[in-house]
Chains A and B, each alone.
Chain A
Amino acid sequence: MGLARTLAIRAVNLLLVLLLVLLLVVVIIGATGTSDRILMSIVRQEVSTYRQAISRTITNPEALEKAVETYRQELIKAYGLDKPWYTRIGDMLKRIILLDLGVSKSLQTFSGSNKVVDLIMERLPNTILLVTTATVLSFIIGLLVGVKLATAIGSKLDRALTYFSAISYALPTWWTGIIFILVFYFYLRIFPPGGMYSIPPPEDTLARLLDLFWHATLPIIVLVLATVGSNIYVTRTVVMNIAQEDFVLAAKAKGLPERIVRWRYIARVAAPPILTQLILGLAGSIGGAILTETVFGWPGMGLLFYQAIVSSDEALILGLVYVFTLVYVIARFVLEIFYVMLDPRVRI
């Protein structure tokens, strides 16, 4: 089987995407002087730590200043800040990949660290939780409703769906979120306005889980609404097209039970193109996550991104662009594995 080879080629392609994004980012931040600023802030921080450390041993203020200044110059040399930015491309690439981007100007983790890597790692699971749940839900709903509608093309329900999917596509996730908060929090008071847990969070594990569920409901509904319309529409169209293929007729002629025809000959064949839709929608889901988290104050990477923009936190933004791309590339790879498993035709 060419399964492994096919997957290897896909993996290389995706790695190429990741590397290219990184290179692009490094060149841009280099050319705009952003990388200088980030490195300088790292230098400043190390210098101040150094000053604290040696101030205990060196009491003469002049000598202290001198020692600090020498250390500063050493660091500037070590980080390559005395040379033009393009000489540091390799070094900067390595830093971004390892998320060694120093500290955030404005934000801290729960435990008080302001390192970029800590901040991002603290938020990452929250984003994954939100996006994965929403994507899976949207996919399942899209599949069930789409298959149902494929047998009723042109019916009232089908036409209603056309409008629904148009609206769903036209609805900006974030605005839907705002309206939901207005309705379900401000007027009806049945859902919280945002966040992940109540303040203070419940002690009991089960209560905590329910609290999480309660807080996640609105953002998940919003994310599902944003994608479910096109999922249904694509499923319906793909299934409809496949239902007209000769092999479906052949399967019926073979006397196979309706159930088998529907699942093995229609749904199973429709799965790869539907999965393609999911893959194509992935980038959108990441964008959706940034906006939805911002609106609902969900403490994930998206909200962190927004906070970093608002406070012009360059190092943090840089780290987030990288991690978003990384998460995207990994998620894509996982989906592509499914795809290659589902569709023998793409195996090389």
Chain B
Amino acid sequence: MISSKREMLRIFFSSSVSKLGVALLIILLAFSIYALVAFPPDYGKLVWNNPKAWENYPKSAPPSWVNFFTQSKLFEHKILETHEPVVFKAPDGTIKKLYYFDLDYDAGEFPKFFSMLMKDVRYWKSPPIITLKLMRPDGKTVELTSFIVSSPREGEKPPYSRYEKEPFILKIDSDVNVWRSVSSFLKESYGLSFSPSEIGKDPERFIFGSPIGSNFSSPLKGKYRFEVSVTTYDERDSVGDILLILGGSVYGLLGTDVIGRDIAIGVLLGFPTSLFIGIITSVIVTLIGCLLGIIGGYFGGKIDEVTQRVSDIVYNLPLLPLTIFLIFLMGSSIWNIVLLLIVFGWPGLTIVTRSIVLQLREAQYIEAAKSFGSSPWRIIFRHMLPQVMPFIVAQMIFYVPTFILLEAALSFLGLGDPSLPTWGQMLELGFRNGAIYLGLWWWIIPPGVMIVLTAFTFVLIALGMEPVVNPRLRTG
């Protein structure tokens, strides 16, 4: 038997398996904490599962680092955000705000789409005029569009708010005015005549390209500058965020799914949920299982018989079909999932603990303690628990991956908590949308790898515990 805690720790940390497991656990915890700090708790409901929030993102785009492996560079999705404008005040009270957006273009393909998005315009007298211009690397400037924010309605009182709930979106692909501007730009700059409808088929090709003859086949690389000017007529008039979105075919660290969601965010958000379910369930299961095992094993009699019978039956139930059935009836909330995992999870530990306690009960020092008149609980806590502890901790750690995998499986079957993003649910959506048959590997691999990694971490720690518990396995 191992005497001291320090000795146990020494044996535990002497194996590389344990070291790797603990290192991985620290990484997992770090990610979880970051996810909890960086994202609000209702992010899942409000943003993640809200397709509107992802409208400006490319759909099913692979990660941007695939560019390292492709010959022609793919354009990485860009969302350009507002900076402080340059302000000009005219003597007549007109105020002109100029917003600049810079873009360094080096991709071998054109942007997939181009839109401007504007929120929260507020004015007091006359509606502001908005102009979008593009200065290209070749020194040419295109004025893409210019429009006036809608006038006050009848009976409306200042300040007049526009685009408060729904942002204004200018889609170059479907805006005839832009096509016309581009058409006249081509005429002036190159003497080429393209009709607006010809340009409308693929406006980005003309905006971001320079012709060889009359052929726009490759993008013009270099520094672009967009200028959005907002002309207002009152000091108090204001404009909220302005965003320019250039649709790319690759995005971010891990790409996007079919709704346009950033998979990296989903993967990150999966950490706390997965760890929470795994750890909380296993701790509760351990407490219940252990307590019942000790009580049954130590006191024997009726209590023992009942716990033994019940644990035997529950232990022998086919877990997954029943859990599926019950979650289906009870509704898939994270609490129901945890509850069911506990209800079906405790007997294993009860059986193990009971058998250990039964052996210990016969040990001489327990007999001695009894003969001194120690109370049963004192014997249990002072003499038995320290002996049983390594087994219990090893078992507890071993249960964590079991529960993590079960939750993932339930999620994958479409029974996950819809308000929380989990890896299982990401995979379910990917599977249902045919990601494997379409080869959208970036949607399928990362969440799965995370599940495996998380479960693997705890399995490693549990394996590292084994020599502490079973001296026969010690080497050296």
- Which A residues are closer than 8 A to B by beta carbons? 13-14, 16-17, 20-21, 25, 28-29, 32, 34, 153-154, 162-163, 166-167, 169-172, 174-175, 178-179, 181-182, 185-187, 193, 237, 240-241, 244, 283-284, 286-287, 290-291, 294-295, 305-306, 309-310, 312, 317-318, 320-321, 324-325, 328, 332
Contact = CB atoms under 8 A, between A and B. Distances in A.
Contacts of A16: 313
A162 B463 contact: yes
Given A172-B408, A172-B448, A283 B401 contact: no
B452 interface: yes
A277 B320 CA distance: 18
22 contacts: A14-B316, A17-B313, A25-B325, A163-B17, A166-B463, A167-B452, A169-B401, A172-B451, A174-B427, A175-B412, A178-B427, A186-B437, A240-B472, A286-B321, A287-B319, A287-B321, A290-B324, A294-B413, A295-B431, A306-B413, A317-B325, A332-B316
B12 to A, nearest CB: 15
A171 B452 contact: yes
A193 B434 CA distance: 11
B328 interface: yes
Contacts of A163: 17
B445 A179 contact: yes
B316 A17 contact: yes
Nearest to B449: A175
Given A171-B452, A306-B413, 17 more contacts: A17-B317, A28-B329, A166-B17, A170-B452, A170-B454, A172-B455, A178-B448, A182-B444, A286-B320, A290-B321, A291-B412, A309-B414, A317-B328, A321-B322, A321-B325, A325-B317, A325-B321
B320 A21 contact: no
Contacts of A294: 412-413
A318 B324 CA distance: 11
A1 B415 CA distance: 49
Contact of B472 (A172, A244, A286, A295): A244
B405 A172 contact: yes
A273 B329 CA distance: 37
Nearest to A163: B17
Contacts of A240: 472
A317 B323 CA distance: 12
Nearest to B455: A170
Q: Give the 3 A-B CB pairs with smallest separation, nearest first.
A: A287-B320, A170-B455, A170-B456
Contact of A182 (B405, B436, B452, B454): B436
B452 A324 contact: no
Interface string B431-461: 1000011010100110010011111100110
A295 B459 CA distance: 25
Given A186-B436, A186-B439, A320-B321, A309 B413 contact: yes
B409 interface: yes
A13 B448 CA distance: 39
A309 B432 CA distance: 14
A193 B437 contact: yes
Contacts of B317: 17, 21, 283, 325
A182 to B, nearest CB: 5
A175 B415 CA distance: 16
A320 B408 CA distance: 21
Given A153-B475, A179-B444, A166 B437 contact: no
Contact of A178 (B316, B318, B431): B431
Contacts of A317: 324-325, 328
B441 A175 contact: no
Most buried by A among B322, B436, B445, B475: B436
A182 B329 contact: no
B326 interface: yes
Contacts of A170: 401, 405, 451-456, 459
A123 to B, nearest CB: 14
Contacts of A332: 316
Nearest to B415: A309
Most buried by B among A16, A175, A283, A318: A175
Nearest to A21: B317
A310 B414 contact: yes
Most buried by A among B316, B320, B326, B431: B316
Interface string B307-338: 00000110011111110111011000000000
A28 B326 contact: yes
Most buried by B among A13, A170, A171, A181: A170
Most buried by B among A20, A162, A295, A306: A162
